[in-house]
Amino acid sequence: MFNIVLALSYFLSGFFMKLSDDFYDERSYKRNSIFLGIVCGLFTALACSIDLDAACIFIAILIGNILALKVDGIHHIATMASFLIAFILLGFPDFTFLSIITIVICMIGALIDELGNDNEKVYQKSKFLEYFFEYRFALKVVILVLVLIGWLNIWSFFYFLCFEIAYEIARALFEKYVYKIEKIAEKKK
């Protein structure tokens, strides 16, 4: 049961994170993006409160995004606030010195991803770099290496893939259905 709850928490966190971003960035639907961001923050906090690896990964992502100046909308503030409040209320796992080092290493991976993502200067250098940063592979590689050296549980890599797959599913659903719904609404006017 624990594995299912954790996998679902990762999955729903990634799904609602992408929807929140797309509703804000692509459509300027602030209320929708804030609501979806809050839901994302709650699922992220749930994962972090029950699993130390999740806490290390998601705290690293948060810090990486702050350092890359990617916390740039009210939806991000709402997501961060709901995450922090829920994480405090649900309780922290027992952090160790190794987990602090893990956070720092994952934060570097997340920062590299955020600095490279949507960066035309990087994208112009090669198709490989464009693909690598479009899908934020730096943190995936870091997590895989930490699994291989035994610092993270192997399941953490699979849970993180659930997060990433959900993020891409949300992207595809947004692109396919939100535009169609808006066109139908325009025709009815």
66 CB-near residues (< 8 Å, 6+ apart): none
Q: Which residue is it, tokens 């699994």?
A: 147
Q: What angle do CA 23, 10, 25 make, to 5 degrees?
A: 15
pLDDT at 184: 67
Q: Look up residue 180 and give its amino acid.
A: K
Q: In whole angstroms, what is the distance from residue 177 CA to residue 183 CA?
A: 10
Element (H, E) at 133: helix 127-134
Q: In the numeric block, which tokens belong to residue 20?
A: 């929140």
| pLDDT tens sequence across 116-143 | 998 899 899 999 999 999 999 999 999 9
Nearest to 27 by CA among 168, 181, 176, 178: 178
pLDDT at 185: 63
Q: How far is CA 3 from the centre of its chain?
A: 19
How many Cβ atoms sit within 10 Å of the Cβ of residue 93?
15
**Contact by Cβ (8 Å): 72, 78:** no
pTM listed for this prediction: 0.92
| pLDDT tens sequence across 41-72 | 999 999 999 999 999 999 999 999 999 999 99
Q: What angle do CA 180, 183, 185 make, to 5 degrees?
A: 110
Burial grade of 50 (CB within 10 A; 0-12, 13-18, 19 or more): middle
178 CB-near residues (< 8 Å, 6+ apart): 22, 23, 26, 27
Calculate the average pLDDT of the chain.
Answer: 94
Task: Name which residue leads in pLDDT, 28 or 144.
Answer: 144
Q: Residue 147 to residues 141, 143, 154, 171: CA-CA distances in angstroms?
A: 10, 6, 5, 28
